[in-house]
Structure 1
Amino acid sequence: MTTVFIAGSISISRLHEKVADRINKIVSSDFNVVVGDADGADTSIQECLQRYRAGKVTVYCTGDSPRNNVAEWPVHRVVSKAKAGTRAYFTAKDLEMARNSDYGLMVWDCKSTGTLSNVIELLREKKKSVVFVNKNKDFVTVSDKDGLEHLVAFMSDHARAKAEEKIGLTAKIANIAQEQFSLDIGANSELSASTVKERKPSAPAEASPEQTESVKLRAALMTALKEHIARAHLSQSQAAKVFGVTQPRISDLTRGKVDLFGLDALVNMAATAGLRVELYVRDADVVVG
Structure 2
Amino acid sequence: MSMIFIGGSREIFELPEPAIARIGAIVAAEHGVLIGDAPGADAEAQGLLAGYGYEHVGIFHAGKEPRNNLGDWAAYHVPCLEGAHGYCAHAAKDREMTRRADFGMMVWDGASPGTAVNVLRLVMANKPCVIYDLARGSLATAHNVEDWCATLHHAGSDIRRQAEARMTPDERRALPG
Q: In structure 2, what is the Cα distance between the partners aligned to 1:24 and 1:115? A: 22
CA RMSD, 1 decimal:
2.1
In the alignment, what sits opposite 1:138? 138
* 1:26-54 deviation digits (Å, cap 9, x = unpaired): 01100000100011111111011112222
Q: In structure 2, what is the Cα distance between the partners aligned to 1:111 and 1:142? A: 17
In the alignment, what sits opposite 1:167? 166
Percent identity, aligned pairs only, is 31
Q: In structure 1, what is the Cα distance between the partners aligned to 2:158 and 2:117? A: 17
In the alignment, what sits opposite 1:109? 109
| Partner SS for 2:154 | coil
List runs of 5+ in structure 1 lacking aligned partners.
Answer: 178-254, 256-289
Alpha-carbon offset, residue 82 of structure 1: 3.4
Q: Could you tell me whether the CA contact under 8 Å between 1:145 and 1:173 is conserved in 2?
A: no
In the alignment, what sits opposite 1:149? 149
Q: In structure 2, what is the Cα distance between the partners aligned to 1:109 and 1:116? A: 10
| Matched AA of 1:119 | V
In the alignment, what sits opposite 2:39? 39
TM-score w.r.t. the length of structure 1 is: 0.57
In the alignment, what sits opposite 1:26? 26
In the alignment, what sits opposite 1:88? 88
In the alignment, what sits opposite 2:118? 118
Alpha-carbon offset, residue 174 of structure 1: 5.1
Alpha-carbon offset, residue 111 of structure 1: 1.3
Alpha-carbon offset, residue 150 of structure 1: 1.6
Q: In structure 2, what is the Cα distance between the partners aligned to 1:137 and 1:54? A: 28
| Matched AA of 1:150 | A
Q: In structure 2, what is the Cα distance between the partners aligned to 1:92 and 1:129? A: 19
- Structure 1 segments of 4+ aligned residues over 6 angstroms from their partners: none
List runs of 5+ in structure 2 lacking aligned partners.
Answer: none
* 1:115-156 deviation digits (Å, cap 9, x = unpaired): 011111112212111111112323111011221122112203
Q: In structure 1, what is the Cα distance between the partners aligned to 2:84 and 2:153? A: 33
Structure having the higher strand fraction is: 2
In the alignment, what sits opposite 1:250? none
| Matched AA of 1:111 | A
Q: Could you tell me whether the CA contact under 8 Å between 1:82 and 1:88 is conserved in 2?
A: no
TM-score w.r.t. the length of structure 2 is: 0.90
Q: If you compute each CA radius of gyration, which structure gives the higher value, 1 or 2?
A: 1
In the alignment, what sits opposite 1:252? none
Q: In structure 2, what is the Cα distance between the partners aligned to 1:121 and 1:29? A: 25
| Matched AA of 1:27 | V
Alpha-carbon offset, residue 84 of structure 1: 4.6
Q: Could you tell me whether the CA contact under 8 Å between 2:152 and 2:159 is conserved in 1?
A: no
Aligned positions, number: 176
Alpha-carbon offset, residue 168 of structure 1: 6.2
| Partner SS for 1:154 | helix
In the alignment, what sits opposite 1:98? 98
Q: Could you tell me whether the CA contact under 8 Å between 1:31 and 1:56 is conserved in 2?
A: yes
Measured at CA, do residues 121 and 161 of structure 1 come closer, stay the same or move farther in structure 2, by a change above 3 Å? closer
Q: Could you tell me whether the CA contact under 8 Å between 2:9 and 2:41 is conserved in 1?
A: yes
Q: In structure 2, what is the Cα distance between the partners aligned to 1:24 and 1:52? A: 8
Q: In structure 2, what is the Cα distance between the partners aligned to 1:157 and 1:45? A: 29
| Partner SS for 1:153 | helix
Q: In structure 2, what is the Cα distance between the partners aligned to 1:49 and 1:145? A: 30
Alpha-carbon offset, residue 15 of structure 1: 0.5
Measured at CA, do residues 80 and 18 of structure 1 come closer, stay the same or move farther in structure 2, by a change above 3 Å? same
